[in-house]
């Protein structure tokens, strides 16, 4: 019996943007380092907060606080006018959410400025906005939609210049670090393709509330020892200031 013929399907504008992002990331010599974090107290404190704070919000803030102690995390490799490092003054988080656009599941990216100064409630509220509110109501989403309508060679050029021509452009249009996870779907990404100096990703908790947290980093900017120390600093923040904030959120709810 002959096999049925498949059919061609053109890349949508959104899939072309994913391709362009991957092309930009493939040029970065990345290394991934992992630390198993013991977060039992954090897990228990989070369970008492309603609505429950998303882990993405927690790690967005934890990374931002860590970058203030590990300045290398705030540096980016810039190619023009000659190769150099650019040190950003504040952390700007980049993250993606899955949305439906023109009957297609797409990953839309947004950014959050100075998350180290924001309470977890505000970070969590913005993540929920990005997941639930109309796409046209989020500025970064509108920019992505406009970019997806351009010819591929133009969108690739825009992405390349945004990442490599200026540190100011890079932080404005892309951010200084990325946080991504599919843990809510019961899985964890072992490796990621990313143009950022650091991209944080993590898996799922084990029965003792231990979590494998991974940092994929640009080896032109960071060395492995620095990345390892950064994950240790991050665990301290999670077990310290982040834990205290979660507990205070519960206390505030009880007082109300």
Question: CA angle, 171 as apex, 123 and 14 as ends, to 5°?
Answer: 80
Provide the mean pLDDT of the chain: 91
Summarize the confidence of residues 228-248 as an average pLDDT.
96
Pick from 74, 53, 172: which is nearest to 119 by CA? Answer: 53
If one counts every other C-beta atom within 10 angstroms of the C-beta of residue 122, the result is: 14
Read off the tokens for 69. 């102690």
Give start and end residues of each alpha helix (H) in 2-119: 13-26, 40-47, 55-69
Read off the tokens for 6. 């498949």
Summarize the confidence of residues 217-245 as an average pLDDT.
96
Q: Looking at the predicted structure, is the pLDDT value of residue 12 above 90?
A: no
pLDDT for res 253: 62
pLDDT for res 255: 54
Contacts (Cβ under 8 Å, ≥6 apart) of 73: 63, 66, 67, 91, 176, 177, 197, 198, 222, 230
Read off the tokens for 45. 């404190």
Domains of the chain: 13-251 (3.30.559.10)
Q: Looking at the predicted structure, is the pLDDT value of residue 235 above 70?
A: yes
If one counts every other C-beta atom within 10 angstroms of the C-beta of residue 86, the result is: 17
pLDDT for res 254: 57
- Predicted confidence (pLDDT) per residue in 76-133, tens digit: 999 999 999 999 999 999 999 999 998 899 999 999 999 999 999 999 999 999 999 9
- Predicted confidence (pLDDT) per residue in 23-60, tens digit: 888 889 999 999 999 999 999 999 999 999 999 999 99
- Predicted confidence (pLDDT) per residue in 130-186, tens digit: 999 999 999 999 999 998 888 888 888 888 888 888 999 999 989 999 999 888 888
In whole angstroms, give the CA distance from residue 171 to residue 73.
13
Q: Which residue has the higher pLDDT, 7 or 256?
A: 7
Q: Looking at the predicted structure, is the pLDDT value of residue 225 above 70?
A: yes
| pTM, to two decimals | 0.92
pLDDT for res 18: 87
Query: Strand, helix or coil at 161?
Result: helix
- Predicted confidence (pLDDT) per residue in 60-80, tens digit: 999 999 999 999 999 999 999
pLDDT for res 128: 95
């Amino acid at each position: 019996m002959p096999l049925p013929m498949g059919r061609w399907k053109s890349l949508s504008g959104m899939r072309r943007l994913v391709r362009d992002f991957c092309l930009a990331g493939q040029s970065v010599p990345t290394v991934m380092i992992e630390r198993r974090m013991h977060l039992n107290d954090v897990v228990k404190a989070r369970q008492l907060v309603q609505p429950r704070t998303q882990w993405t919000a927690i790690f967005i803030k934890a990374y931002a606080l860590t970058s203030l102690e590990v300045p290398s995390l705030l540096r980016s490799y810039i190619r023009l006018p000659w190769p150099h490092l650019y040190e950003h003054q504040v952390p700007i988080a980049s993250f993606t959410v899955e949305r439906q656009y023109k009957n297609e599941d797409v990953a839309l990216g947004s950014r959050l400025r100075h998350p180290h100064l924001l309470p977890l409630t505000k970070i969590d509220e913005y993540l929920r906005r990005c997941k639930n509110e109309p796409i046209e109501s989020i500025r970064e989403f509108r920019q992505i939609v406009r970019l997806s309508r351009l010819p591929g060679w133009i969108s690739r050029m825009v992405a390349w210049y945004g990442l490599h021509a200026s540190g100011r452009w890079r932080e404005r249009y892309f951010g200084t670090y990325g946080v991504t996870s599919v843990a809510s779907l019961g899985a964890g990404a072992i490796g990621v393709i990313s143009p950022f100096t650091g991209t944080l990703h993590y898996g799922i908790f084990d029965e003792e509330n231990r979590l494998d947290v991974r940092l994929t980093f640009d080896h032109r900017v960071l060395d492995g020892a620095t990345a390892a120390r950064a994950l240790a600093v991050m665990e301290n923040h999670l077990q310290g200031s982040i834990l205290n904030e979660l507990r205070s959120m519960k206390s505030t709810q009880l007082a109300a």
